[in-house]
Amino acid sequence: MTVQPMKPILTQTLPKEEGWCYEIKYDGFRCTLTWDKKGIKLTSRNQTDLTPLFPEIIAYCNTLEEDIAPCLPLVLDGEIVVLTNKYQSHFEEVQRRGRLQNGKRIETAAQSRPAHFILFDVLICAQDQKDLPFMKRRDKLQEVSAMLHASTSVKPDVPFLLIEQSDQSEVMLRIADVYLAEGIVAKRIQSRYQPGKQRDWLKWKNWRCVSAFIQSYNQSNDYYRLAAYHIDSEPLEIGKCKHGLSDEEATTLKRVMTSKGHRKQDDIVIPPAISADIHCINTDVTSLREPSFAGLRPDKSPEECNWEQLEWDVRKMPPRDTFTNLDKQLIPEASITKQDLLCYLREIYPYMEPFLSGRQLTVIRYPDGIHEEQFFQKHLPDYAPEHLKKSSENVQQVDDYKDLLWFGNQGSLEYHVPFQTLASDFSSEIILDLDPPADSQFSLAVKAASYIKTICDKLGLASFLKTSGNKGLQVYIPLPEHTVTFAETATFNHILADTLVRYEPELFTIERLKKNREERLYIDYLQHAEGKTIIAPYSPRGNTEAGVATPVYWQELESLHSAKQFTMNSVIKRIREHGCPFASYAYMKSQQNLEGFYKILQGDK
């Protein structure tokens, strides 16, 4: 059963009139999933069989044979992606999977970095759906999604994600901006499904604009090699580009290259002299994704095309003059400048946002770096911009990445949040802070976390793990909002702490006085209380290693050797390669089963 996919046409502006809906555009392999009595097949838009490359999707579908039987034959349209967050995919990981040929390597990749199938449309569901209006097909897609146990939330062990939709372009534009998504697809709600490019579907790219200079031109394929000056002032190639120039610009550029350059095999090489603006869609500056010329820049010197500016522009940062002292060293031992901090905060915000939004923020400011004066700040200063002043009490809140960048510009390295939102007196989660007496005794925190994981599993409680970025580990137990009081969490934490001390009295203690702890790990069950705070996930720490409070997978626990092993210099790369361990946190929070929790409170063992 061969189905040619419907494809959107590139547009510079999204339609504003009524009759359209909007979805985030993902960067992956466009794919149809065909499911009939013969089996399940994944087919690319070029009719390549992708089935052997993504066994995790096929294996999951096989577990739902009875549930899905009434829908067969079934053809779904979508995109195979590897998610870094709910709205952003990492194309290089999908591409890497696409190159694998060895079955064992494919299985390993499927387990370590599973792919998702983003559900766009349903073309056949027992009968042909293609002639139905798009919104009718959307209704049917939601029915099928429910049978696949998929929704618009990332769920653990469910490789399907129903694409989110809005009838307001502004909603999706904000999501694309905040999450640095690839772009937006606009679909006419009355459109029928037709193969090939159709004007009823439009795609808008969330271009980043960076500057580079041209190194060479290949006459056989018309590609220009682009470069920028790296930190050591050496040119570093960042990609190749051939599209985007006007006929006049292309003719002029080729004439200059052939007259001023020198031949080196198939290339015409030229010293750094010609600068250009380049559109791309990724945040990894080492290899630009979908580069195209935005225009030649005779007014810009090659020296202005440098790594520092690239790192800034590729993240779609606000204008540089919005900020001050960008070259100030905040953590000299890790070579962290204020610009590095701001770029980190911009890119990490989507992962911090669920734990910052709607909560009162406390920051620790290091305006002149970690070796100079530092201080807590719990309320907004008078000179804070108006967009941050959301209450008469000057409560600090972060509701947008621009808010976070303002705090970063003030030298705020650490971001601490309470255990509840501003709208609730109930606890949003239980967090157990496992703080060893010294860095060298980090293994005590690992052992304590392992015990807590075992207890949570026996109680049927979903739990998550993160490093503190400083000395220890922290275990999160998400709670549905407005359900559990702080009195109940205090009792639970006390019981849990006492249980650990009974297990290993020589290793763990609840003794408040340091002099009486005797090198045991202190389990601070009293720290989890209304009004108290804890370091937010992915917040930097003000230590010489530039440690980050980093979510980790439970299967990584035994391999951890330090609370500071993940740093501002490594966390973004880690997320790209391994995903975010808290990706399903919101879903598990809404679905958390508290039966075991309440049994413990009632004294049941």
Active site residues: 25
Rounded Cα–Cα distance for residues 297 and 274 (Å): 7
Q: Would you list the DSSP string of 453-481?
A: HHHHHHHT---EEEE-SSS-EEEEEE--T
Cα 364 to Cα 523: distance, rounded to the nearest angstrom: 24
Residues making up the chain, counted from first to last: 605
Do residues 242 and 217 touch, judged by C-beta distance below 8 A?
no
Count Cβ atoms below 10 Å from residue 221 Cβ, excluding itself: 9
Give the pair of three-digit tokens for residue 425.
């007196």
Task: Report in angstroms the alpha-carbon separations of 590 from 350, 428, 482, 593.
Answer: 19, 11, 11, 9
Strands 127-128 and 329-331: unpaired
Rounded to whole angstroms, the Cα distance separating 536 from 177 reads 22
What does the radius of gyration of the chain's CA atoms come to, in whole angstroms? 26
Residue with tokens 């209006």: 133
Tokens read off for 15: 């339609």
Task: Tell me which amino acid residue 152 is.
Answer: T
Please state, as a whole number, how many other Cβ atoms lie within 10 Å of the Cβ of residue 239: 21
DSSP state of 435: E
Task: Quote helix, strand, coil % in the chain, to nearest 5.
Answer: 30, 25, 40
Torsion of CA 341, 549, 88, 358, to 10 degrees: -90
